[in-house]
Every structure is written in C-alpha cells, then in structure tokens.
A and B are shown apart, each in its own frame.
Chain A
Amino acid sequence: MDLLVIHQYLTTYLVFGAMLFGFGIYGLVTRRTLIGMLIASELMLAGVSINFMAFNRFLAPDPSVGQIFTLFIMAIAAAEAAIGLSIVVAVYRHYKSVDTEDLITLEG
C-alpha cells in the first residue's frame, strides 16, 4: 500500500484512532495529577471521535448521523471538562494539592 493514498482507506483512520486512545490510556495510568489525567481522557475522547467520523465517512448509509453524534460527544466532553476542572479547583482548595497521592481521605 502506498503511503500517499492511505487517506483513502478506513483502516488508516481506525488504527490512528486506536493510537490516540493508546496514548490516552498511557497518560491516564502514568499521570499523578488530576489535571494530567483529565488531559489524557480528552485524548481518549479524540480517538473515539475519529473512529466515529471514519465509520461515518466510509460505512454509514447516512453520513450526517455520525457527525451529529460526534457533535454530541464534543458537548459532553465540554461539560465533563467544566465539571472535572471545578472539582479539581475545589479539591485544591481543600487539600492544597492536586496530586493523587495526597488525596487519601475519603470522608466528606
């Protein structure tokens, strides 16, 4: 397969999305701060969105459905980032740290 025509194939995008997802998982398990883990989860969401868009472009009968679904993923990701970051700010105010090692008390 020639490198210059790989953008014509579905599997290129699927493997690429899987690669982004793998980067996200690596960041999620190695990061030790809450914000770093949030960044990694955004990477995973980007990989998933690419998967949806690739299936939408190559396989789906109606190509607008996948775009609408990806739009909803973006809205959910924005809401998740807002809530997650406000929790991070609240946690920082309480513990004076966002390191996962320091957040060891579970009571209210």
Chain B
Amino acid sequence: MNGPQTFAHSPGILTPDGLVGLIFLIMVAVTLTGAYIAATSERLVRAVAGLVVCFTGVGGMYYFLNSPFMAMMQILIYVGAVCITISFAIMLAAPEQKKKTAPPNLLSGPLGFMVATLVFAGMAALALRTEWQQFAKTSMGTVREIGIQLLTSYSMVFELISIILLIAIIGAIVIARGGRS
C-alpha cells in the first residue's frame, strides 16, 4: 500500500496533504492533553473529562489508521459507555476527597515519574530502532471483510466475548447489590 515513500517532499500547509498533517498534529495534541489531565488531575471528575477528550483523540487516530469503523466503535464504547460508567461510579462511591493527610508513599513522587518515563523511553527506543518488515497486503480491511471474518474465522472468539460480557453484566449486578437488604 502507500508507504512512507509516497510523500518524500514536504507538502505546503495549505495543500490538502498539509492540512491532513495539521489535523493529525492537532489530534495528537488533543489526545496527549486529555491523557495528561486524566493521569494527573486532582479531582476524579476532571480526570474522567480528560479521559473523554483522550478517547476522542484516539478515535481520530483510528481514522488516520484507515479504520473509520474502529473510530466509531471507540467513540461509542469508550466515550459513550465506559466513561459514563466511571462517572456514575464516581457519583456513587467517591465524594470529593479531603486533603490528604497521610504521608506520600514511595512511588507517588519523582520515583513514579521516573518509572513511567523509563517505560516510555524503553518502548519508544524499541520502536525507533527496530527494522520493521512489511508484507504484501492480501486484503483492504473493509467493514465487509471484518464482518465476514468475525462470523467465519473468529466466530468462536465472538461467541466467547458475548458470554464474557454476559457474565460481566451479571457479576457486576451481583457484586454491586451485595450487602443491600
């Protein structure tokens, strides 16, 4: 398919290709801002709002990765379901925290930052140094092909996922109801 060689020269910022690149950079900025808010904000409600922003940006990434279907699923499942569930749990279970009185534990200071930075640096170095090998594409990965594969090659996994989701729903109800008369 179209590899990196397609645009060896840099497009102007007002050409269509340049605008696509600009939109990509905006998406990256939005996603990283959301992730930063989600990881560091003091209040959990703001963290969930940052998570929504981050997931929307990740949906934009999926558009750039040739998969509008997954972008839609990302918005639908993560923004529409998971984030809403988390905010419900915050309303049910986490009244705004009082100021912390306990001493900070070992990892919450610079050491935690160092751990995260080291993991990121290791994985980024691995991604940059490896000589990735490309294979010839055998299909286009359209929604039609995804549907056919889901119901033929991956039908067993599909059924298992359905059962797992069913068990998760029942289990969530049972656990959250326990202790209530």
Q: Let me know if B123 and A8 touch, CB within 8 A.
A: no
User: Which listed residue, A25, A66, A72, A77, touches B82 by the CB 8 Å rule?
Assistant: A77
Docked CA distance A51–B139 (Å): 20
* A2 surroundings in chain B (CB, below 8 A): 10, 21
Bound together, the chains give a CA A36 to CA B123 distance in angstroms of 24
Residues of A within 8 A of B21 (CB): 2-7
List A53-108 residues whose CB lies under 8 Å from chain B. 53-54, 56-68, 70-72, 74-83, 85-94, 98-99, 101
CB B37 to nearest CB in A, in angstroms, measures 10
Closest to A46 in B: B58
Residue total for A at the interface (Cβ-Cβ under 8 A): 79
How near does chain B come to A22, taking the closest CB pair, in angstroms?
Answer: 3
Residues from chain A with Cβ under 8 Å of B139 in the complex? 62-64
**Measured between alpha carbons, how far is A47 from B41 in the docked complex, in Å?**
19
Cα(A75)–Cα(B168), bound, Å: 11
| Bound: A40/B40 CA distance, A | 10
We find that the number of chain B residues with CB closer than 8 angstroms to chain A is 100
Contacts of A77 in B (CB 8 A): 77-78, 82
Q: Is the CB of B92 within 8 A of A38?
A: no
Q: Which residue of A lies closest to B92 (CB)?
A: A89
Which partner residue on chain A sits nearest B90 by CB separation?
Answer: A35
B-chain residues with CB within 8 Å of residue A78 when the two chains form the complex: 77, 81-82, 165, 168
Contact A85 B89 (CB under 8 A): yes
Using A5-B10, A54-B65, A64-B149 as known contacts, say yes or no to A20 and B116 having CB atoms under 8 A apart: no
Taking a contact as CB atoms closer than 8 A, the residue among B35, B105, B138, B161 that contacts A72 in the complex is B161
The 7 lowest CB-CB distance pairs between A and B, nearest first, are: A63-B141, A4-B21, A22-B120, A14-B127, A27-B39, A79-B168, A26-B116
Binding site for A on B (CB under 8 A): 2-4, 6-7, 10-11, 13, 17-18, 20-22, 24-25, 28, 31-32, 35-36, 38-40, 44, 47-48, 51, 54-55, 58, 61-62, 64-67, 69-70, 73-74, 77-78, 81-82, 85-86, 88-90, 92-94, 97, 100, 102, 105, 107-108, 112-113, 115-117, 119-120, 123-124, 127-128, 132-142, 145-146, 149-150, 154, 157, 161, 164-165, 167-169, 171-173, 175-176, 178-180
> 10 A-B pairs, CB-CB below 8 angstroms?
A2-B21, A8-B3, A8-B7, A23-B38, A26-B112, A29-B108, A64-B149, A72-B161, A76-B161, A89-B176
